[in-house]
């Protein structure tokens, strides 16, 4: 009876005459404006982009459905996120006296300033929920440092209860779970932390470094390598990633004769 099709985005045709009139009147203005504005160039993806971020965690409850032929929007969304991070992380990199470099440059990226202090992120403008969440995160961090992972978990779970947009809470939860040997849980928390950290290369590097640690513990060498490498691209000074990568490559190197 009715049409059982879905109409795609229509390309609407505008009367040619109207189109031409507008074009004639505004063409000069358009040229002037087009010359004045500079469209930001889209950065190219790094060569190892497909391997740089780990695949989504396995969902045990899902039935086994065949892979869609078209690349799903989840992956597209992921790529777009990485694009943005790539685009934004470079100009935001805190350097002392060096100018901003584009990611396509062959020179080594500038060192990233230590952005680890959570308390320093609390300013008079910080919303109260975020401030409380950051302080609890700091308490959790101290408990992790002291090796009291169980108590750290309790404290850190409160941080996301108060403010679920606090990426550091998720990061330290991931750390606590990692130390308790719960690698998959750790990776899950890191996924969330990553999606909440948009332009903080220091912290993104930390996230990827621990991802590397988790993958290495789970025996996924290639994923571990990619994660460590991604961390070092974001922050060449990330010690965990550097040591992890070095150990990993040492482990996976064939023994010399």
Residue 121 touches another protein, criterion: CB under 8 A: no
For 134, counting Cβ atoms within 10 Å of its Cβ (0-12 exposed, 13-18 middle, 19+ buried), the class is buried
In the complex, minimum distance from the CB of residue 255 to another protein, in angstroms, rounded to a whole number: 39
**Taking CB under 8 A as the rule, which mask of x and - marks residues 131-170 in contact with another protein?**
xx--xx-------------xx-xx--xx-xxx-xx----x
State the Cα–Cα distance between residues 210 and 214, nearest whole angstrom: 6
**Quick one: which of 159, 107, 152 has its CA closest to 132?**
159
Residue 57 touches another protein, criterion: CB under 8 A: yes
Return the number of the residue (77 or 237) whose C-beta is nearest another protein.
Answer: 77
Cβ-based neighbours of 181, under 8 Å, separated by 6 or more:
217
Cβ-based neighbours of 9, under 8 Å, separated by 6 or more:
none
Return the number of the residue (1 or 47) whose C-beta is nearest another protein.
Answer: 1
- The only residue of 46, 81, 240, 247 in contact with another protein, by rule CB under 8 A: 81
C-alpha to C-alpha distances, 21 to 24, 25, 28, nearest whole angstrom: 5, 6, 13
Residue 61 touches another protein, criterion: CB under 8 A: yes
Q: Does residue 144 contact residue 151 with C-beta atoms inside 8 Å?
A: no
Binding site for another protein (CB under 8 A): 1-10, 12, 14, 22-23, 25-26, 29-30, 33-34, 56-57, 59, 61-63, 65, 68-70, 72-74, 76-78, 80-81, 84-85, 88, 127-129, 131-132, 135-136, 150-151, 153-154, 157-158, 160-162, 164-165, 170, 173, 177, 185, 188-189, 191-192, 195, 198
């Amino acid at each position: 009876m009715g049409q059982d099709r879905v109409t795609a985005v229509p390309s609407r045709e505008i009367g040619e005459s109207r189109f031409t009139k507008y074009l004639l009147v505004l063409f000069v203005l358009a040229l002037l404006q087009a010359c004045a504005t500079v469209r930001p160039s889209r950065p190219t993806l790094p060569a190892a982009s497909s391997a740089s971020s780990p695949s989504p965690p396995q969902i045990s409850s899902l039935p086994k459905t065949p892979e869609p032929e078209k690349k799903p929007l989840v992956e597209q969304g992921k790529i777009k996120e990485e694009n943005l991070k790539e685009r934004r992380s470079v100009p935001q990199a805190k350097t002392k006296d060096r100018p901003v470099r584009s990611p396509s440059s062959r020179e080594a990226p500038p060192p990233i300033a230590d952005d680890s202090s959570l308390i320093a992120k609390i300013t008079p403008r910080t919303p109260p929920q975020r401030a409380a969440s950051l302080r609890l995160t700091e308490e959790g961090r101290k408990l992790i440092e002291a090796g009291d992972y169980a108590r750290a978990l309790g404290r850190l779970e409160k941080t996301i209860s108060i403010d679920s947009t606090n990426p550091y809470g998720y990061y330290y939860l991931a750390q606590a779970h990692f130390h308790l040997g719960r690698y998959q849980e750790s990776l899950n928390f890191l996924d969330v932390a990553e999606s909440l950290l948009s332009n903080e290369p220091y912290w993104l590097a930390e996230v990827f470094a621990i991802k590397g640690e988790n993958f290495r513990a789970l025996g996924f060498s290639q994923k571990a390598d990619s994660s460590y490498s991604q961390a070092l691209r974001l922050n060449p000074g990330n010690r965990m990633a550097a040591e992890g990568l070095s150990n990993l490559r040492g482990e996976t190197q064939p023994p010399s004769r």
